[in-house]
Amino acid sequence: MRDFTYGFWETVDLSLLYIGKGTARLLTRHSATAEDVAYATLGGSLICAFFGAVIGFALSDLSRSMAVIEGASIGLLLGACIGVFFGSFVDAVDEYIRGVLKSLGLR
């Protein structure tokens, strides 16, 4: 039954966690140990900022009333804001699932 605990939310949470840890290690020389929630939030923010910039770039190119750089910048900022909530939501759901599975006593 232990194999069933590694599901979709665990995969997404670990992906965001590793992206956040990698970014923290690249930006700082001596990365202090922080909570997993912070790493997942940073990872979600980076992923959503990238996708927001791409979507903002594409939509501003189609609108013809906004410069492409402005659209990409606005999309990047909105994506980063949404990513903070996305990363913390994924971590919260994953922690809840882990808690439920631990309470069931599966081995």
Domain boundaries, the chain: 2-104
Q: What is the pLDDT of residue 51?
A: 92
Confidence tier at 31 by pLDDT (50, 70, 90): very low
Which pTM was predicted? 0.69
For 32-98, what is the HEC assignment?
Answer: CCCCHHHHHHHHHHHHHHHHHHHHHHHHHHHHCCCCHHHHHHHHHHHHHHHHHHHHHHHHHHHHHHH
Most confident of 30-34, 48-52, 56-60, 65-69: 48-52
pLDDT per residue over 59-104, tens digit each? 887 767 778 888 888 889 999 999 888 888 888 888 888 888 888 7
Phi/psi of residue 27, nearest 5 degrees:
-85, -30
Structure tokens at 102: 């631990």
Residue type, position 53, single letter: A
The whole-number pLDDT of residue 50 equals 92
- Confidence category of residue 19, pLDDT binned at 50, 70, 90: confident
